Structure 1
Amino acid sequence: MSQTYSISELAKALDVTPRAIRFYEEQGMLSPERRGQERVYSSRDLVALKLILRGKRIGFSLAECKELIDMYDPTGGNAKQLNRFLEKITERRGQLEQQMLDIQQMQLELDTAEERCRAAMERIP
């Protein structure tokens, strides 16, 4: 029998709130079994939540995380999922590189504005 988790066990294990777990469940990203009022999460839910949290840390949207989770196939080796994940990583790197260029450009513009302001202040009697 595979490992199962209560919502509080899952929340504690991954340092998230039960509310966050319920939110991901509402989004269709987690699918616990129900035993009366109790939610029972599987190892698959644990892995999915880990993927969600990792995806958030590296800047993926919830839709992108859901896409990757939905591609999970424990019997198929997950080659499609992993290839898509690599594509998403490449896309994210490109976005970050563009953001770094944008930040560098903004810093140059700030430097120019600052220099002009300081020069103008020196001319004020």
Structure 2
Amino acid sequence: MTTRAPASAATARTWSIAELADEFEVTHRTIRHYEDLGLITPERRGTVRVFHRRDRTRLALIQRGKRLGFPLEEIRTIIDMYDEQPGEAGQLRYLLDQITDRRTDLERRRQDIEDSLQELATLERRCRADLEALSS
């Protein structure tokens, strides 16, 4: 999850809140919430928000982080590390640690689900056997 500053004037395209909301399939309120949290910092022209490439990139990273199950505070830490020390290398090391933690949590949850499914199958067999015994 890295962000990059615009490389040239050719990347100076801007987006409205409506365009980003449509593109990322989120509400305007969600984007404003991310702005309130300081995750994105659109330019303000009066009451209009103008989003630059950096905001769009950060919004994409926020959405990716959310899909992977990271809380917003972790997403903020990961994204902000790119702009601060220890920079991209530190950001990547931190992200790898977070991926390991997330994977461990998901694997534990998967095992819990598999255990529950086995318990349900056992209970179902017992119930069917008891029902069959009652029918005989």
TM-score, normalised to structure 1, is 0.88
How many angstroms does 1:3 deviate by? 2.9
Contact 2:43 2:51 in 1 (8 A): yes
Q: Which runs of 5+ in 1 are unaligned?
A: none
| Residues 22-41 of structure 1: pairs in structure 2 closer than 5 A | 22-41=32-51
How many angstroms does 1:15 deviate by? 2.9
Quickly say closer, same or farther: Cα 1:47–1:60, change in 2 above 3 A.
Answer: same
Deviations 1:48-104 (A, max 9, x none): 101110011111111111111221228975111111111111111111111111111
> What is the alpha-carbon distance in structure 1 between the residues aligned to residue 109 and residue 33 of structure 2?
29
Corresponding residue for 1:51? 61
Higher RCO (Cα < 8 Å, 6 or more apart): 2
Secondary structure, aligned partner of 1:67: helix
1:81 has 2:125 as partner: no
Deviations 1:15-67 (A, max 9, x none): 32222111111222111121111111121111110111001111111111111
Quickly say closer, same or farther: Cα 1:102–1:75, change in 2 above 3 A.
Answer: closer
TM-score, normalised to structure 2, is 0.82
Amino acid at match of 2:44: R
Amino acid at match of 2:72: L
Corresponding residue for 2:76? 66
| Pairing partner for 2:26 from 16, 34, 37 | 16
Name the % identity. Answer: 49
Corresponding residue for 1:116? 126
> What is the alpha-carbon distance in structure 2 between the residues aligned to residue 76 and residue 99 of structure 1?
33
Quickly say closer, same or farther: Cα 1:95–1:75, change in 2 above 3 A.
Answer: closer
